[in-house]
Structure 1
């Protein structure tokens, strides 16, 4: 039978060791994720690790290192689709990026085990756990640290309400004024209002600005002909 002819005890034991290492390392990573109630928990990380391990191990036995390298490339791209499934956008917030990155690392842990790089698999697991645990206090400290708006990169917008009939002419003037003040414009969108006026919304390119300079530019916009009012807004950069 083909199975009996192809079965080799040494290769079977090597595969068993690789899978055991991938299973153990995936369990360590997944346990930390499960404890923190993340979308991809214990079982998901284990399955990703042992799946990547088996694909690479199989390629090693069938085609040698060259075949394993090709399979690793497919694992890297394939796990990207799985990671995309755990990324969710809720309003202006994006959740799941860290979970997706952890799954990517779990696949790398499994691939190392499948390629018989057991020490590297264990070392990578230690670094993944350190990144998800030891860096949390640093992240919290950075989030609580006081910072000025000028020091942070954000998306700024400038809105100007224009009397009916003056929007087309003012759009060019608004663009020229902001460009002269060194505030590059990404897009200007007109929006009709119920009172017949038009609101021009200019979105600036993500940048760090000096609030005083932006205030001064808005004041100049308010003095343009047919402008009823002008304000600026700020939102966190993606």
Structure 2
């Protein structure tokens, strides 16, 4: 399987370590990864503000760049959801390249669990953490259960974190509440966005957690800014960074896991 790595624009510009961690984790799991040159934003910011005429050429450019790969993996549930759930507005049913990418573009944890069949990562992460579940991941990609829908679902991010030695996952009070970022919502409704974000961070701190972990760096970007400006006792990490750090602590164990997976 040849997998294309799609790195969202805000990770490319502000959090390149998350991109590197994503690449490292995939390669250590035995995945052949390529990074298509010339990739751009998926178009979600324009789509969210109703600028469909501006979104369409961006979506077509994205499909052109990623066509031909067996799968696309992205460390962002919101960008993956844009492609899987909203790109159909810009493509016809006869567009086979889009149809293929719609069905084969995956969020990182989703790809590891569902496509690679890996349900545990050997390694250690010796810090108490808490999990922030992004709205797009829960409510559009269905990567876990949410309170307004009683359908039981495996939480793929939590599953991988729970497999690490030494980790302690602290329970928060409202497990699926929005952080208030919402892309352009944070600009148009600043006061509401800030209040929601501070409320979310406070819940995580009250649990005894030291590190907030999420699969969407956009949510963490919003909350890390609130944490920094208010000197709150909390740090944030993308799940790729946590998994990569754990992998580095037990590389021989992961080699055994990858070999076993390849033989299945």
- Which TM bucket (shorter chain)? under 0.3
Where is the strand percentage greater, Structure 1 or Structure 2? 1
Where is the helix percentage greater, Structure 1 or Structure 2? 1
Bigger Rg, which one: 1
Higher RCO (CA-CA < 8 Å; seq separation 6+): 2
**TM-score normalised according to structure 1 size:** 0.25
**TM-score normalised according to structure 2 size:** 0.23
